[in-house]
Amino acid sequence: MGIAHRSFRKTTVAGIVALVIGFSALGALGVAQGQTTPVRTAAAAGYNGEITRTQVIDRARTWLGTVWYSQTACYQQGQPPCQVPSYRQDCSGYVSMAWNLGFSRYTGNLTEVMSTIPRQDLKPGDVLFRRDNSVQHVALFVRWADGGRPVVWEEYSTGHTAEERTWSASWAGTFQPYRYNNIRDDAPPPPRPRPSDSPKPSDSPASPPAPSDSPESPLPSDSASAPPSPVTTTDEPSLPVTGSGSAALLGGFGGTMLLLGTGLLLASARPRYRGVRRRPA
């Protein structure tokens, strides 16, 4: 009986420990899932509503140097369809996020929520837009540089994160300025380009990218630095870690420990019942 009692006690303790570990793992899973829930930056009340230029710039800044370009991924969510506040990680998804739209638009329907404006009226939070047989792209206007060159924030190519770039005046001249219909001014506009800053005939436009069947065609670089390598639309860059894989492992471990603990506790009860004998009548 002494050996059976010690075995019962060890099995019971092991079962309790397994249950505690299992519940702790599941509790940690809940915390991990809460931490990976996308956090919205300050913006207008509700999607597709009014938003100020400062709010647009603040939202757009959160992707700079952080979110890798992809036509098939949603930031902080994974695979499409993207559900707000997650947005597709390409040029129009980036603009959709900055404008706090209700879903990730693409260049084929982005014009439904914006209107053309004169080039000299461009302000932070407006966009430069182009959609034709060779280029489908949109970039967020930030300010003017010298020589009539716009400074933009954009998601533009596989292997790059959202970044700030200065376009040549000739390349920018192939894009049409647009303004989100619900954007509102809350800061003085940037200095307008001088008449002498208009594109010069000597400016050579950037080479257009190859046509693409996907929603957006990646753009080549037209900055002073060397252009990026040719874009391969099937090449996926590394995506930010969202914790989904870790959460799955943690949940599986917690469930296994709960099952193990329950089994040990049930097994520990058996020796006690086997030791009971009926007294003679």
Band (262; pLDDT cuts 50, 70, 90): low
Is a pLDDT exceeding 80 seen at residue 86? yes
Fold (CATH) for 51-197: endopeptidase fold (from Nostoc punctiforme) (3.90.1720)
Measure the CA dihedral 61/63/65/67, to 10°. Answer: 180
- The pLDDT mean for the chain works out to 73
For residue 46, the model assigns a pLDDT of: 81
pLDDT of residue 155: 98
Which carries the bigger pLDDT value, residue 260 or residue 126?
126
User: How many beta carbons lie within 10 A of that of residue 35, not counting itself?
Assistant: 11
**pLDDT tens digit string along 215-261?**
444 443 333 333 333 332 222 333 333 334 444 455 566 666 666 66
176-180 sheet: strands from edge to edge: 114-116, 176-180, 127-131, 136-144, 150-154, 163-166
Q: Which residue has the higher pLDDT, 64 or 268?
A: 64
Confidence of residue 208 (pLDDT cuts 50, 70, 90): very low
What's the pLDDT score for residue 235? Answer: 28
Location of structure tokens 């050579």: 204
Question: pLDDT confidence of 176, banded at 50, 70, 90?
Answer: very high
pLDDT tens profile 128-173: 999 999 999 999 999 999 999 999 999 999 999 999 999 999 999 9
| 1-15, 23-37, 71-85, 118-132, range with the lowest pLDDT | 23-37
Question: In terms of pLDDT, which residue wins out, 95 or 212?
Answer: 95
Higher confidence at residue 233 or residue 30?
30
* Mean predicted confidence (pLDDT) in 178-183: 98
If you average pLDDT over each of 174-178, 207-211, 230-234, 264-268, which comes out highest?
174-178
pLDDT tops 50 at residue 33: no
153 against 193, higher pLDDT: 153
Measured distance CA(63)–CA(215) in Å, rounded: 20
Of these ranges, 17-26, 44-53, 63-72, the one predicted with the greatest mean pLDDT is 63-72
Indicate whether 271 pLDDT > 60: no
Q: Which residue in 29, 27, 17 sits closest to 251, CA to CA?
A: 29
Task: Output the 3-class SS for the chain.
Answer: CHHHHHHHHHHHHHHHHHHHHHHHHHHHHHHHHHHCCCCCCCCCCCCCCCEEHHHHHHHHHCCECCCECCCCCECCCECCCCCCCCCECCHHHHHHHHCCCCCCCCCCCHHHHEEECCHHHCCCCCEEEEECCCCEEEEEEEEECHHHCEEEEECCCCCCEEEEEECCHHHHCCCEEEEECCEECCCCCCCCCCHHHCCCCCCCCCCCCCCCCCCCCCCCCCCCCCCCCCCCCCCCCCCCCCCHHHHHHHHHHHHHHHHHHHHHHHHHCHHHHHCCCCCCC
Which has the minimum average pLDDT: 9-13, 24-28, 151-155, 162-166?
24-28
Q: Would you put residue 123 in left (φ > 0), alpha (ψ -120 to 50) or beta?
A: beta
